[in-house]
Amino acid sequence: MTKVITYGTFDLLHKGHIRLLKRAKALGDHLTVCVSTDEFNAIKGKKAYTSFEDRKYILEAIKYVDEVIPECDWDQKISDVKDHDIDVFVMGDDWEGQFDFLKDYCKVVYLPRTAGISTTKIKKDLGLGDYKKD
């Protein structure tokens, strides 16, 4: 079984998120999604519109997602890869090169983002004021 993992806040779920999850799942048999907790988002200077528990609940309902775990700090990625026997780490290409240190533990894949949509854009369009990077 090939196991894949990806990370994100997944706030205001949109087409780009779903496309990322679908393409990540296509790289293996099991997809683990690691979702930033509200506390970790605060450390990153972000505030999600939707609570961690609700974002987790929504992700668990998506057919491409097999497991959802919390992301609590920047440094847990290596231990997540080891503890969950991950074969492939996936992120959007806006993070290109940022996670190459994981190549010692698994394959690292950067997928193209979906043009024209992002949580940042949605928040800006709605005047929600938090325009931090998705």
Beta-bridged to residue 31, according to DSSP, are 4
What positions carry a catalytic annotation? Answer: 44, 46
Residue keyed to tokens 């290109």: 96
Candidates 37, 34, 35, 33; CA nearest to 21 is 33
